[in-house]
Amino acid sequence: MLVLDVGNSRITIGVFEDRILKDKYSIPTNRVGEICSISNVEPQKCLISSVVPEVNELLCELLRAHFHVEPFIFDPFVHSPIKLKVDGFVGTDRVVNAYAALKLIGAPVLSVDLGTATTFDLVDKNREFVGGAISPGLRVSLDALTEATSQLPEIDLELPDRLVGRTTEEAMRSGAFFGYASLVDGLIQRFKAEEPSLKGVVLTGGLATFLAPLLDPSYKLEPDLTLLGLSFIGEER
């Protein structure tokens, strides 16, 4: 099975065999043609989660031509495997992540995706997706800080080794990482207050591995949560 998570900046591609992620690829979303560089893959199914509708048509054409498979674009409002108790639009990736967390841990469960934005998505005790919270991501917050000030430099994403920074860069790194970890832990505690019987929290997203050492160790780290969720949905179709 071939699954694709189409994000604003990158497309992450997973190749599953017997429920095991055998290979993973990543290409820029604005260079979708690079998918044709993937070889030795003969999928029986192909499932897409996309938050960039304008690339879907070209992507599907490339998948048909290169992999000889008919792609299926997952629409949470038509194909969701869990009941959605939300008002209006909700991102496809949020529903996929919540469903994957439900399959991995059970209900109620919270999935937290640490990417460009940080999303917190709750499946309640009735196994229903009831919404969540969205915060600016760590990188977005840092970019806003440097753009809005004249003397603060850009810094690399590196874990600080102490809270008290002795240089401007160290102080920024401390505030960014420890501050953002406190934001994540604090919001999770608020979700636990809303859903006291919460079974667990699953972390995913590009920055999850960076931040995990600063967060509560009881959280489950699953970098490939979206791909796993798509594979679960694909199995059931």
List CB contacts of 62: < 8 A, sequence separation 6 or more. 32, 33, 35, 36
3-state secondary structure of 139: helix
Using omega within 30 degrees of 0 as the cis cutoff, is the peptide bond preceding 108 cis? yes
pLDDT tens figures, 63-72: 999 999 999 9
Provide the pLDDT for residue 5: 93
Is residue 92 within 8 Å of residue 75, measured between CB atoms? yes
Provide the pLDDT for residue 54: 93
For 104, the token pair is 């991995």
pLDDT tens figures, 177-216: 888 899 999 999 999 999 999 999 999 998 898 889 999 9
For 159, the token pair is 């874990």
List CB contacts of 140: < 8 A, sequence separation 6 or more. 116, 117
Provide the pLDDT for residue 170: 81
pLDDT tens figures, 139-190: 777 777 777 676 666 777 777 888 887 888 888 888 888 888 999 999 999 9
Which residue has 């059931």 as its token pair?
A: 236
**Is 215 or 89 the better-scoring residue by pLDDT?**
215
Domains of the chain (ranges, CATH numbers)? 2-73 (3.30.420.40), 81-138+172-225 (3.30.420.40)
Which residue has 């469960």 as its token pair?
A: 109
Q: What percent of the chain has pLDDT over 90?
A: 62
For 25, the token pair is 């690829």
Provide the pLDDT for residue 149: 74
Provide the pLDDT for residue 224: 94
Provide the pLDDT for residue 152: 66
Confidence band (pLDDT; 50, 70, 90) for 6?
Answer: very high
Q: What mean pLDDT is reported for the chain?
A: 90
Q: How many residues does the chain have?
A: 237
- The strands making up 46-50's β-sheet, listed across from edge to edge, are 20-28, 10-17, 2-6, 46-50, 72-73
Q: What is the pTM of this model?
A: 0.87
Please state, in angstroms and rounded to a whole number, the distance separating the CA atoms of residues 129 and 135.
Answer: 18
Task: Kindly list the catalytic residues.
Answer: 93
Q: To 5 degrees, how large is the angle CA 158–CA 52–CA 4?
A: 75
Mean pLDDT of 219-232: 95
